Structure 1
Amino acid sequence: MPRTSSPVAIIIPARYGSSRFVGKPLAMIAGRTMINRVWSLARAVSDVDEVCIATDDERIAEHVRSFGGCVVTTPKECTNGTERVLIAAQMLSTTPAVVVNLQGDAVLTPPWVIAALIDEMRRDPTVEIATAAVRMDKRSYDALRTAKGHGEVGGTTVTFDRRWNALYFSKSIIPFVRNGGQGNDTDPLPVFRHIGLYAYRYNTLCQYISFESGPLERSEKLEQLRALEHGIPVRVVEVDYGGRTHWAVDSPDDLKRVEAIVGEEGDLVTDLARQPAR
């Protein structure tokens, strides 16, 4: 897609004091720190003006500077990663028109998935927020349903209208699939798993942060519902991981799973580094 004059920034929030995994951004995964991996993936996205890490900790900031990354220090009092991203955007030398919030633990996010959101924001100037989702087949649906049956909270699904604007996000599996779906394990279902990746118009991000949380957000513990509760449309972009597995790191146990995925599917960061320069 042709470059536009509107600057785009990918900002990666990285907090040291996570309650579930202290020091997570500096954890090693197959020879690289988590934050270095996410930064490398963001840097591989074409036509982005700035990739910056927003952190509240000097240990993370020092490490980012050691590999040449842009880093800004944000207050420890930030209530969530989205607020941290906005503060970081306000600290950049040029205010971005589009801000991408790439989670600091999204170590297996292909650059083309990030690019798909940016492309949608450039294609349709009316889109205020864009987020990603993957269509599930019967096999992945059954796996998620089994996990939910065992009490696991992870895994958010999303429904949307004919214009791909979100109707609702939920930790429950929506829509309900009668009889568990029909057909083969690889047949697609009308169920989309949400990927926690967002692109915002800068002004919309400022507006979003000013809103109070509503009953749906508080019930589901899903920040994106705040936008819907306040009438801001959220465009859903269907993405394809190209056969690669989506996985985030929420606990030390997840590190082993991610390293196993890297071993099985190849190291996305290394593969990108081996590609010819554009």
Structure 2
Amino acid sequence: MTDKPSVVIVIPARYGSTRLPGKPLADIAGKPMIQHVHERALQVAGVDQVLVATDDERVASAVVAFGGRAVMTDPEHPSGTDRLAEVMRQVPAEIYVNLQGDEPLVRPQDIQKLVEGMLHDDSVAVGTLCHVIDADEALNPNTVKVVLADNGDALYFSRSPIPYPREAVEASYLKHVGVYAYRKQVLQQYAGLPQPMMERAEKLEQLRLMAAGLKIRAFLVEPTGPGVDTPECLERVRAIMQGEVFTEAVPTLADIRLVITDVDGVLTDGGLFYDATGECMKRFHVRDGLGMKLLEENGVRVAVLSGRDSATLRTRVADLGIGLSQFGVKDKAAACRELMALAGVQAEQTACIGDDSIDLPAFGVCGLSYAVADAPAYVKQAATAVLQTEGGKGAFRELADAILEAQGRQDVVSSAQGYSSVMSKMAQ
């Protein structure tokens, strides 16, 4: 009878995070964040050793100070898996668990389930975790989704919502939790594996393993707590660990990266005119068109969303060069979510403009919502704010100017020099 394979938990902890420098040492309830992760890892039964892999002496010193072991690694590693392979050459084991150093709320029982799953079935080359999410979160490209075979083996990982709910069929989604367990043999061959097209496209290194034919088993757990990627994430985790209520910051126009606009009653005055052939004609305001182009040229996407569909409308959108649009829409909430996914933004980075009841579902899923000045009172009450301009008379341009001002680009509308920087690309 063979002995149980040795298991080591490795906690990567880079000091030089782009969005939150020095985050392994960020204080949470009187301890550096890395210590919280280390203490939770020590609670996992059946593990022979827990260590921190870092590229910075400050992190290593902090780990030694609270009684942990630190291993110095090359700061030039292109991925966490490459860093783990370097640790393997210094610390012998049969199974290596890669537990991220920015997950202070990790549950020891989840890691236990991963370890036990690897020990139970030696045919599994790589293990990881996943949990159920709703359709809204599935549209976020920053949330990695996974689909599984009946035995729990991963079929594919993607930033897109998988499976895709064609024809509005209800679908269920699983979020991939970035904790891995590798057998020694996988790490030994990882550096020599070619980088496939799907890894380059999705920017997901686990797809390299799948392309090489390695089995990745995903173990289902309960939804996990938030990790720490940004200063706001850090404040949220601090509040949770100290039993306090965290109040989400209200989005502002400075945060907006996508504006979704209705057509009838917003870009037009709502009037419908038909020519002798039966073609519907609408009156658009040229200042709205220029506002759209100004936003697009300054990093804010614009999407047109309409419950109607006509050749006139499609011609106007094409003239303006708007690449994001949906016509003949019945469910505006679902359409807004899809447009956010296509633009690669989240709800708090999205503003929408509407004028009537059909736009209320869109108001509910966007971070900010605006009603035109002549909208019904109940629509105004549901909006974040009410514009001073009526629909079809430059309401969109009013919001566009406000966004540009909030983002420090008012020069492109208020000065000849500023406008000249983008005028060659403008169209009304």
Structure 2 length as normaliser, TM-score?
0.54
Aligned to 2:107: 110
Contact conserved, 2:15 with 2:56, CA < 8 A, in 1? Answer: yes
- Over the aligned positions, Cα root-mean-square deviation in angstroms equals 2.0
Q: What does 1:1-278 correspond to in 2, within 5 Å?
A: 5-92=4-91, 95-136=92-133, 141-145=134-138, 148=139, 153-177=141-165, 179=168, 181=170, 190-241=172-223, 245-264=224-243
Work out which of the two has the higher radius of gyration on C-alpha atoms and give 1 or 2: 2
Which stretch shows the higher mean deviation, 29-38 or 257-266? 257-266
Q: Secondary structure at the match of 2:191?
A: helix
Secondary structure of the structure 1 residue equivalent to 2:17: coil
**Structure 2 residue identity aligned to 1:253:** E
Distance 1:19 1:234, change over 3 A: same
**Amino acid corresponding to residue 96 of structure 1 in structure 2:** A
Conserved? CA contact 2:135–2:172, under 8 Å? no
Task: Write the letter of the residue equivalent to 1:155.
Answer: T
| One-letter amino acid of the counterpart of residue 10, structure 1 | I
Give the secondary-structure state (helix, strand or coil) at the position aligned to 1:75.
coil
SS of structure 2 residue aligned to 1:135: strand
Alignment partner, residue 318 of structure 2: none
Partners of 1:129 and 1:234 within 8 A in 2: yes
Deviations 1:133-184 (A, max 9, x none): 0123xxxx14414xx4xxx532111001122111100111211235373xxx
Partners of 1:29 and 1:4 lie apart in 2 by 39
AA matched with 1:174? I
| Matches of 1:180 and 1:257, distance apart in 2 | 35
Return the alpha-carbon distance in structure 1 between the equivalents of residues 198 and 108 of structure 2.
31
How many residue pairs align between the two structures? 243
Determine the C-alpha separation between the residues in 2 that align with 1:89 and 1:174: 34
Distance 2:141 2:212 in 1: 25
Question: TM-score scaled to structure 1, two decimals?
Answer: 0.82
Residues 201-258 of structure 1: CA deviation (Å, up to 9, x unaligned): 01112212321221111111111111111111111111125xxx42111111210111
Quick check: 2:84–2:187 contact (8 Å CA) kept in 1? no
Maintained 8 Å contact 1:11/1:89: no
* AA of the residue aligned to 1:240: E
Contact 2:41 2:50 in 1 (8 A): yes
Unaligned runs of 5+ in 2: 246-428
Q: Distance in 2 between matches of 1:264 and 1:96?
A: 38
- Return closer, same or farther for 1:254/1:78 CA change in 2, 3 Å cut-off: same
State percent identity of aligned pairs: 40
**In structure 1, distance between residues paired with 2:22 and 2:48:** 28
Secondary structure of 2:160's counterpart equals coil
- Distance, in Å, in 1 between the alignment partners of 2:119 and 2:42 is 19
Structure 1 range deviating more: 113-122 or 74-83? 74-83
Alpha-carbon separation, structure 2, partners of 1:264 and 1:210: 46
CA distance in 2: counterparts of 1:157 and 1:59, whole angstroms: 35
Whole-angstrom CA distance in 1 between matches of 2:198 and 2:226: 26
Residue range with higher mean Cα deviation, 40-49 or 254-263: 254-263
Superimposed CA distance per residue, residues 78-124 of structure 1 (whole angstroms, 9 cap, x where no aligned partner): 122211112112212xx110000001111111001111111011110
Of 76-85 and 164-173, deviating more is 76-85
Runs of 4+ aligned residues of structure 1 deviating over 4 Å after TM superposition are none
